[in-house]
Structures are given as C-alpha cells and as structure tokens.
Amino acid sequence: MKIGIVGLGYVGLPLSLQFARNGVEVVGLDIDASKVDAIRQGRSYIKHIDDTAVAEQVRGGRFWATTDFGLVKQLEAVIICVPTPLNKHREPDISFVLETGRSLAPHLARGTLVVLESTTYPGTTEDELRSVLEDGSKLRAGQDFHLAFSPEREDPANPASKVADIPKVVGGYTPQCLEKAMVLYGRAIKTLVPVSSCRVAEATKLLENIFRSVNIALVNELKVVYSAMGIDIWEVISAAKTKPFGFMPFYPGPGLGGHCIPIDPFYLTWKAREYGQHTRFIELAGEINTGMPDYVVGRVAEALNDQCKPVKGARILLLGLAYKANVDDDRESPSYVLMEKLEARGATVAYHDPHVPLIRATREHPHFAGRRSQLVSSDYDLVLISTAHDEYRQMDFSSFACPVVDTRNCVTQRPVNYYQA
C-alpha cells in the first residue's frame, strides 16, 4: 500500500511514522519546504519525536516527503491533517482544508480514498470538501472515489499514548467508503470504531473536546470562588479524585491553549446557529476560560502591590510558553495572551521555556517573533509560572526574593512571597 498524508505537523508526522512502521509506504505532502527538507534528512522538528524515529523510516524507504501534489495520482489513499483555526471573528476557518482539496482534486485517480482528520463542524467532509474534490476532479464521491472522516486523537508528550493503541473512530460517505477507510486504518491502528456517517465522526471529535472545555471551565470558576474563601482548589481536587466512581479530575490554569480546546467548541457553536440552535453551555464555558488571563493579571497586580510596586514598569519573567507541559507546541498558548495583557499595562515581559528557545511567527501574535528564552533568575520584580514543565517542578524557588505567581501549582519549594493564580 502507498498512501499520502497532507500536513506533516503534530498530527500528520506521528501518523505517517505509525503507518510506515507497519510496512505502508508513506508520502508526506506539505507546502512547508523546511519540513520536507528535514524529513529527507531524517530529522524531526517536533521535540517529543526523536530524529531516529524519522531516520529509520526514511532509510527504510517507507517514508519520504515532497511538496509536489502531482504525486497524488500514484497513491491509493490520501489523509488530510491540516489546521482548522478560527478567523478574527472567532468563526471557523476551513480554508486550509478546502485549499488542500483543490490541490488534490486534479490528481485524484478512480478508486482513491480521501480521508479528512482535521477537526471541524459536522458536514464539512460530505458537503464542502466533497464539493471541492468533485469540482476539481470531475469524479463523484462514493462512485468514482471514496471519502471518509476520522478524527485525530493525539496526546503529545504522553509516553503512555501510542498512535497504534488509541481507538480510531471512522465514518464514511457511503458504506463502501467506510469499508475502504477501515481497511486503510487497519494497517496501522489496533482498534477501529466504525460509525454511521462522516457527520457522526465529526460530531464525536467535537464532543470529546467540548467535554474537556466545559470541565476545565468548571474548575477555573471554582478556583476563583474557592480562592475568595481561602480554600486551595488544588487540595480540593486532590481529595475529590480519591472517589473511585462518578468523578474525573480536571485542572485549572491561566487559560486554554493548544489547537483543540480553545477552538473546536466554537465550530459547533457556529454550525448550530444554522439550525436555529444556541449552545449556551458551551459559550459560557468559553467565556470563563477566555477570562482566566485577566484573573491571572489581577493576581500579578496584587502580588506586585504587596511589594509596593505597580504593574507599569515592572520587569516580569514568564515561565513556560508552550501550552502544555514538556512539549514545544505553543499554538494558542495562554502565555501569549498574558504577555499581551501585561505589556499593555506597561510591564516589560521576558520569558523562559526550555522547549521553545525562540518565538516563531504566529498568526495571532506576530510581533513577539524573534524573542529568545532568558535564564531563570530572581532578578525580576515578579516571576509568573504559566506552564508546568518538569524543570519548574524540580526548581528550588525558596530563595527567590521577588514574588512568584504560580498558575499550575507546580512549585514545590516555595518562596516567602508565593501566590497561586
């Protein structure tokens, strides 16, 4: 079997390697020439994926990369793993999916299977993507080529999470499309979960991420309430999770980050309005979560005030730029929002992150590009911990004279001026 995977990022690269390890020849397709060059050289550009994992498959001839979409005509299947962000109006932006479809369409051969893995609203695969593929290829989905949706389920930096072991939900445009997709994923994934349609598969992914968003909003709200009562939310969660049934722990933070939780719920919110439905619960959760950076900035102001210092003119060191502990993924990181808000109030903000030594250009915060990680020291007016990297859990802050504001409960050796946020 010879397949293509479009989009060699945090989803596409590990999926490519998993197929290659199982003897499938994988052609990685990406418009980013630097990623293509890295793969050709057997290098990984994602921190939690070793160079050796890429080099082994490249040397074995099972994995290679190109920017040439013309090679699609040689492939049995193509899997699309491209970004699905929100636009500036907080509405779904599926332009990457549709542009990929337009690039694939002229090269589709009869019998080819196209699978979308990018998280999106129900109907994207069988409506928008199907239309683009059919218009550009003059073929018909379900008759001349096959079409399916199978949501990605990646858990970066979790050593217990293996692509092969994570059950794969698969929905097809027709029963035969589903059958083809099941055969494809059966080559690499141990457990497959077939569902009745692409729409059900798309809705499944949204439910998974909305579940997390809503529960994180709950503990974020409780954090603020319990703090006013002098109660440590982290101690409460630790005690509550000893219950062996009816409870699942979620943890508060400075805001939501990553490509899924801050974005995906709004895909359903937007689509629901087309049907005259209002997702009030989801929107309330989003409101609470997006308000967390303001709460953190307020705690920073309180900590500085206790030292008789204003936020304006304060030198602040922010620890952790990645959205999640021990990864180099800074997409939608709340750390950027904290930097924006603190600098808007006149503070000077530096950052440290062992996994993000240099800030790359981002869609939302391009003006931060080029800043470099600084050394951790107490030579600041305040230290703000935004990401719970292992390095910070192991660090001794007890001698720090400046206040330390901890949004992740990761400081074990605490200074006198320690604050939770």
How does strand 418-420 pair with strand 404-406? parallel
Active-site hit among 260, 308, 402, 410: 260
User: Beta strand pairing status for 146-149 and 168-172?
Assistant: antiparallel
CA angle 283, 97, 22 (to 5 degrees): 110
The residue to which tokens 């805001």 are assigned: 255
Query: Rounded distance, CA 194 to CA 214, Å?
Result: 26
SS3 296: helix
Interatomic CA distance for residues 336 and 318, integer angstroms: 10
For the question of residue 410 being annotated catalytic, the response is no
Retrieve residue 219's tokens: 């503990």
Structure tokens at 421: 């946020």
Four-point Cα dihedral 191, 22, 36, 117, nearest 10 = -20
150 SS3 class: coil
Report the candidate in 378, 413, 377, 418 with the shortest Cα–Cα distance to residue 395: 413
User: Residue 295 CA to chain centroid, in angstroms?
Assistant: 23
Q: Name residue 396's beta-bridge partners.
A: 413
Q: What residues are labeled active site? A: 260
